[in-house]
Amino acid sequence: MAKAISIINNKGGTGKTTTTLNLAAALKKLGKKVLLIDLDSQCNLSNALNTKTQNEHIGNLLLSKCVLKDCIIKTDSIDIIPSVNNLLEFEYMINNEPGREYLLQEVLENNNHYDYVIMDCAPSLGTLAINSLVAADYYIVPMQAENFAFQGLDRILETAEKVKRRMNTNLKLAGILMVKFQPRTKFGQAIVKNIAQNNSLSDKLFNGYIRQDISLMEAPAFNQNVFDYAPNSRGAQDYLSVAKELIKKYGKA
């Protein structure tokens, strides 16, 4: 069975899509078969992989209007189930479905074609985000070392704990991943120290972190991940390091 990972933060601009895309690319570079799922109506992940001509998408899949294999796009870079601009309309319809929180889990059951399924969530804790947590083995919270960095973190952890208790007993926090991180700054060091001193999070901060790198911003504009766009960049080095750490701690060797 594939390891399912939700990339989630209810605060916008925290690097969720960048992490989803490039962590998946790093895992693929390490020989893993990876499927991406775009659960964000902004479609940034889908657009980064140039899936604009696809007819089927995650909205239709969750409403049983198509089957899994018909929704998967095999791009030159990596496989993806894309989003659609009016995904919020589908989320509204999903809210009327019995067992709405389990729809994604159902469509991913018995998926033996991939080693990892990585889900990119919108900056909210709505029905689709809950679906990702119910379907996930692990979740990762990307976070920037900036003012209000902890804003919403407690809510994410609280929501995930409720999902674990009520709907998915296997759910675990894989870790908090610092992105656009400058380890030499006093503020960056203070953020890390704050997390390390939190008893419930002290062992949940990734040892690896993602440094600020213009290549990570430029690559999606050219429909590429950072390994295709700038393989020798800091961004590529950092995401490869995090992928290796993830596999060592939680994944398939």
Closest to 187 (Cα-Cα) out of 136, 131, 147: 147
- Please enumerate in sequence order all residues whose Cβ is within 8 A of that of 98, keeping only pairs 6 or more positions apart, or say none: none
CATH number at residue 85: 3.40.50.300
- CA-to-CA distance for 27 and 197, rounded, in angstroms? 30
Give one DSSP letter per residue of 66-113, joined into a string. Answer: S-HHHH-EE-SS-EEE---TTHHHHHHHHTTSTTGGGHHHHHHTT--S
Domain of residue 148 covers 3-250
Residues in the chain: 253
φ and ψ at residue 32, rounded to 5 degrees: -95, 150
- Write out the chain's pLDDT in tens, 253 residues: 789 999 999 887 788 999 999 999 999 999 999 999 999 999 999 999 988 767 899 999 999 999 999 999 998 789 999 999 999 999 999 999 999 999 999 999 877 789 999 999 999 899 999 999 999 999 999 988 766 656 678 889 999 999 999 999 999 999 999 998 877 777 777 777 777 777 777 788 899 999 999 999 999 999 999 999 999 999 999 999 999 999 999 876 5
Number of domains in the chain: 1
pTM score, whole prediction: 0.93
